[in-house]
Amino acid sequence: MNCVGAPLVLMEKQTLSVRYANANAAILFGRGLEGFGGCSVEELVGHEATRMLGQIWSVAPVGVPGEPFLIRAQVQGQERILMVQVTKVAVEGEILRLFTFLDAPPQGSVTLAGWQENVISLLNWLPFGFEISGTDDQIQFANSTFKALFGYTQDEISNIEDWWRLAYPDPDYREFARTQWYESIAAARAENREMTPFDLDVATASGETRTIQFRHRTIGNFNVNMYIDVTRERSYARELKVLADTDPLTGAMNRRRFFEEADRIHAECQKSGASATFLMLDIDHFKTINDRYGHGVGDAVLVEFTRRCRDVLRPEDRFGRMGGEEFAVVLCRPDDASVHVIAERLRQVVGSEPFIIDTDTLKVTVSVGGAICEGTESVGSAISRADNGLYDAKKSGRDRVILR
């Protein structure tokens, strides 16, 4: 280090305290070589310059100097504009940071340093994570919001592979995220445009998962990346969708959402050669329950009825409330026998055990009508036939299944 003409200071990787300095650094900072032992970088260049150094990641590969930048430093009580480069070096297997300090060229350096400070202050003010990296994706600069958003330090993300490992701990999702990132960037670069934004779920240093919208643009030899936290907005959107699709009392699909799913399942069944089946369910004598016990008990019966029916159905089946005490099911079953089995199970799970509502014990039964959608028959036609089956079940004495 003493053979190098520039001031060099070797720093601990994490604490940025001095391990060693060369003779030219001793001259620059006005202290003997023995006076560097364990001192902090702030003692050498002042608080504001240290803050600036903390913003510059410069995580180039070991032995490769990072991009030079200017700092306005307080050196021996005087303000000086210094040009700094940071290089990671390995000393006996330990990674340290080597700072090279040079007086900036005088012409325009003060103005340039002022502009740099203003730009960094502006970037730190931005309400989203902002990052500049090389074309190899090694971070050169990250604003304060980036650090607050993800919580990872320079030492934890010393290379791009650290980012993939920490931010996406699940290997399958990591591969998905990596593919999405590089394919989107490649498409944007090919057309010289901004990358089409997309969302990914990112694990932060605190263990929290945040939904981040990624935006990217390649400018010259640098990648400019923006990270926008949309966790709250996406959560609200999901909640609104649930509210829009769900019956607020029972949690079953509402009528609109049920018919959307019925159309989708019907189309999928037609493609695969299977048959979509529709069941219509109506709670027997429900008006009597409301009249005798009150609408509060009637609502509790509807909730318990929904729970029992869902317990019988498979996850891929769809269960919806059509209105009042009438419900519907759409499922894929291969033949009349299997359809009759599931319809009977629904009837039995409702009527086999009484409903215990507060202090009341109620005998509840259900009538079921069903129809298998054949060939090119429409959803509306099949549901109409299932409705006719339900009408026949009611007319024949209730608490029974009739398929049409």
pLDDT tens, residue by residue, 189-214: 889 899 999 999 999 999 999 999 99
Give me the mean pLDDT over the 62-87 stretch: 84
pLDDT confidence tier of residue 106, bands split at 50, 70 and 90: low
DSSP track, 228-278: EE-HHHHHHHHHHHHHHHB-TTT-SB-HHHHHHHHHHHHHHHHHHT--EEE
Which long-range contacts (C-beta less than 8 Å, at least 24 apart) are formed by 332-340?
A: 332/265, 332/268, 332/269, 332/274, 332/275, 332/276, 332/277, 333/275, 333/277, 333/372, 334/274, 334/275, 336/372, 336/403, 339/277, 339/279, 339/370, 339/372, 339/403, 340/370, 340/401, 340/403
Per-residue model confidence (pLDDT) at position 235: 92
CATH superfamily of 247-403: Reverse transcriptase/Diguanylate cyclase domain (3.30.70.270)
Class of domain 8-125: alpha beta
Rounded to whole angstroms, what are the CA distances from 364 to 96, 369, 394, 400?
75, 17, 14, 13
Give me the mean pLDDT over the 91-119 stretch: 74
- List of residues 6+ apart from 197 with CB closer than 8 A: 213, 214, 215
Per-residue model confidence (pLDDT) at position 397: 94
pLDDT above 60 for 108 = no
Q: Which CATH number fits domain 129-234: 3.30.360.10, 3.30.450.20, 3.40.640.10, 3.40.50.2300?
A: 3.30.450.20
pLDDT above 80 for 118 = no
Range with top average pLDDT, 1-5, 83-87, 173-177, 374-378: 173-177
pLDDT confidence tier of residue 57, bands split at 50, 70 and 90: low
pLDDT confidence tier of residue 292, bands split at 50, 70 and 90: very high
pLDDT above 80 for 236 = yes
Alpha-carbon span 38 to 135, nearest angstrom: 35
Same fold, 129-234 and 247-403: no
pLDDT confidence tier of residue 13, bands split at 50, 70 and 90: confident
Per-residue model confidence (pLDDT) at position 92: 83
Per-residue model confidence (pLDDT) at position 116: 67
Per-residue model confidence (pLDDT) at position 15: 76
Give me the mean pLDDT over the 358-367 stretch: 93
Nearest to 85 by CA among 72, 74, 73, 97: 97
Range with top average pLDDT, 29-33, 86-90, 264-268: 264-268
Per-residue model confidence (pLDDT) at position 220: 81
pLDDT above 90 for 180 = yes
Per-residue model confidence (pLDDT) at position 6: 87
Per-residue model confidence (pLDDT) at position 319: 96
Give me the mean pLDDT over the 355-383 stretch: 91
Per-residue model confidence (pLDDT) at position 291: 93
Give me the mean pLDDT over the 86-106 stretch: 83
pLDDT above 60 for 147 = yes
Per-residue model confidence (pLDDT) at position 114: 62
Neighbours of 35 (CB within 10 A): 13
Q: Which amino acid is at 133?
A: S
Mean pLDDT of the chain: 88
The domain spans of the chain are: 8-125, 129-234, 247-403
Per-residue model confidence (pLDDT) at position 83: 86
Per-residue model confidence (pLDDT) at position 377: 87
Whether 53 contacts 41, CB under 8 Å: yes
pLDDT above 60 for 113 = no
Lowest mean pLDDT among 102-111, 129-138, 313-322, 377-386: 102-111
Give me the mean pLDDT over the 234-246 stretch: 89
Specify the pTM.
0.58
What percent of the chain lies above the pLDDT cut of 90? 50
